[in-house]
Structure 1
Amino acid sequence: MLVVTRRPNEKIAFPSLGITVHVLRVTGASAKVGIEAPPEIKVLRDEIVPAAEVAAPARSPQSKRADHALANALSKVTLAVHLARKQWDAGRPAEADDTLKMALQALEALEPKAPAPPVPRRALIVEDDANERELLAGLLGFNGCECATAADGEDALAYLAAGNRPDVVIMDMAMPRCDGPETLRRIRADQRLAGLRVFSVSSTNPREVNVPDGPAGFDAWFPKPLNPKRLWDAIQDAVRSPATAN
C-alpha cells in the first residue's frame, strides 16, 4: 500500500497503468478526487463493486484439469496406502507390495513431462548483399534456425551439391554470376533436390523475371521490405509439412 499526503490540485500518477488521481478538494476528514484511466479500466466505488468482480480471478480450463488430475491421483494414493496396510496386517505382503507400486505409479504420473525437443530448422540464405545476408541469418538464428549463407547462386549450388540439404532456401533475385531465376531452374532440374522448398525474397515481381508457376517455380514469394514474421511462419510450415519429392 502506498501512503502519501497530497494537497488540493495535486496529483498521484501511475504511469505504467495510464492512471492519474487528481486531488480536487479536501474538507475535514473527506477528500474529493478525480480519476483518469484508460477506457478499458473500470473505476468504481468500493461499495458498489459487484461481488463477482472482487472474487478470485477465473481459473483457466487447463488449471481446472490439472487440479482434477491432482485430486484423482492423491485419492488413488490414499486408498492404496490404506489397502496396503490392511493387506500387510492380514499377512499378505506380496499383495501389499503390488498395491504400493500402484500408489507410486500414481505419484509418478504427476511429474511434469519434459517438453519435446524443438524441431531443428535449417535455411540456406542466398543474398549478394553481405549486410542483408548476415542480418537475416542473425534474425532467423535467434528464432532457433540454423543458417548457412551464400553470396550468389553459384555458391548456393555448390553448397547443395556437397550434400547439404536445408529445409528451405531463401533467395534473392538479382545476383552476380548466377541470379535467382537461373539458380531456381538448376535446383528444380536436379532430381537429388526434388521437393526442396525455395523461397524468394525480392523487390521484383515474379512476372518481371519470368519465373514459372507450379512445381517449377518458387514455393513462396516475399516482397521487400521483408515481413520477418511471415517468412518465419512459412519456414515453420515447411518443417511441419515437408514437400513430397516428385
Structure 2
Amino acid sequence: MLVISRKNEESICFPGTGIEVRILRPGPSKVRVGIKAPPEIPVLRGELELNGGVGDAEVAGIKSVMIVDDNWNEMKLLAGYLRLKKLEVQTAESGAVAMEQLLSGATPDVVLLDMMMPEYDGAWTINQLRSSPVTEKLKVFAVSGCDPDELNVPIGPSGVDGWYPKPLNPEKLANDLQRQAFLVTT
C-alpha cells in the first residue's frame, strides 16, 4: 500500500485510468474524500470489500430498487453497490420526480427514500405514495439522519415500512431487504 500525505484540496491521480482522489475536508476523526472515476469502474467503501464484499449473491426476491435522494454522490454510491448485488436500480433526485416515474409505469420492488430533501421531501413523498392507488402498497424504506419522530412520519401502513439511519451501511441494508422486503406490514 502506498501511503502519501495530502493537504486540503490536493489530489492524487492515477494516470491512464481516469481516477482522481481529492482530499475535500480533513478532520480530527474523519477525512472527506472525493473520488472521480469512469462509470465502468465501481467505487466501493473498503469495509464492504473486506466483509465479503459484493460477491455474486443477489438480494433474494428483490429485483429492482428506486433510490430517491437529492445527494447525487450518495445516490451514485448506493446505486453502484446495489447494481453489484444484481439489482436493477432506478434513481430520482426528488419526491416529485419519483412520483412522476412511478405514476408513469416504473415498478420497483422497493423504494429507498431520503427523508431530508430540500424540495418534495420524504414526508411529502410518502403522503403522495400512500394516497395513490397505484403506489399505496409499494414497499418504502426511509433513509435519514433524523429520527422518525422528528419528521412526524409513521412506520407502518400509512407511512414507511422501515427506517435506516445515515450514515447508511449498504451491506446491512441489502441483507435486511433480503429478509424483510416482502413481509406484510400490519
Task: Find the partner of 1:215 among 144, 157, 179.
Answer: 157
Q: Deviations over 1:23-43 (max 9, x none)?
A: xxxxxxxxxxxxxxxxxxxxx
Q: Which amino acid aligns with 2:170?
A: P
Q: Give, in whole Å, the separation in 2 of the partners of 1:142 and 1:190.
A: 32
Instruction: Note closer, same or farther for the CA distance 1:218–1:120 as it changes in structure 2 (3 Å cut).
Output: closer
Match of 1:195 in 2: 137
Q: Secondary structure in 2 aligned to 1:178?
A: coil
| Contact 1:196–1:243 (8 Å) recurs in 2 | no
Q: Give, in whole Å, the separation in 2 of the partners of 1:221 and 1:180.
A: 12
Q: Give, in whole Å, the separation in 2 of the partners of 1:208 and 1:128.
A: 20
Task: Find the partner of 1:133 among 59, 75, 79.
Answer: 75
TM-score of the aligned structures, taking structure 1 as reference length:
0.48
Q: Give, in whole Å, the separation in 1 of the partners of 2:155 and 2:177.
A: 20
Q: Give, in whole Å, the separation in 1 of the partners of 2:63 and 2:93.
A: 21
Match of 2:32 in 1: none
Larger radius of gyration: 1
Q: Give, in whole Å, the separation in 2 of the partners of 1:180 and 1:126.
A: 9
Displacement after TM superposition at 1:120 (Å) = 5.4
Q: Give, in whole Å, the separation in 2 of the partners of 1:227 and 1:235.
A: 12
| Contact 2:109–2:138 (8 Å) recurs in 1 | yes
Q: Give, in whole Å, the separation in 2 of the partners of 1:166 and 1:193.
A: 10
Q: Secondary structure in 2 aligned to 1:174?
A: coil
Displacement after TM superposition at 1:242 (Å) = 5.7
Displacement after TM superposition at 1:235 (Å) = 2.1
Q: How many residues align?
A: 127
Q: Give, in whole Å, the separation in 1 of the partners of 2:77 and 2:127.
A: 27
RMSD, matched Cα: 1.9
Match of 2:94 in 1: 152
Match of 2:147 in 1: 205
Task: Find the partner of 2:167 among 225, 234, 245.
Answer: 225
| Contact 2:64–2:109 (8 Å) recurs in 1 | yes
TM-score of the aligned structures, taking structure 2 as reference length:
0.63
Q: Which runs of 5 or more residues in structure 1 are unaligned?
A: 1-117
How do 1:82-97 and structure 2 match up within 5 A? Answer: none
Q: Which amino acid aligns with 2:68?
A: V
Q: Which amino acid aligns with 1:195?
A: K
Match of 2:63 in 1: 121
Match of 2:178 in 1: 236
Q: Give, in whole Å, the separation in 1 of the partners of 2:99 and 2:73.
A: 21
Which structure features the higher share of strand residues? 2
Q: Secondary structure in 1 aligned to 2:115?
A: coil
Q: Secondary structure in 1 aligned to 2:157?
A: helix
Q: Give, in whole Å, the separation in 1 of the partners of 2:94 and 2:85.
A: 24
Which structure features the higher share of helix residues? 1
1:173 aligns with 2:85: no
Q: Which runs of 5 or more residues in structure 2 are unaligned?
A: 1-59
| Contact 2:114–2:122 (8 Å) recurs in 1 | yes
1:182 aligns with 2:182: no
Instruction: Note closer, same or farther for the CA distance 1:120–1:221 as it changes in structure 2 (3 Å cut).
Output: closer
- Higher relative CO (Cα under 8 Å, sequence separation at least 6) belongs to 2
| Contact 1:197–1:238 (8 Å) recurs in 2 | no
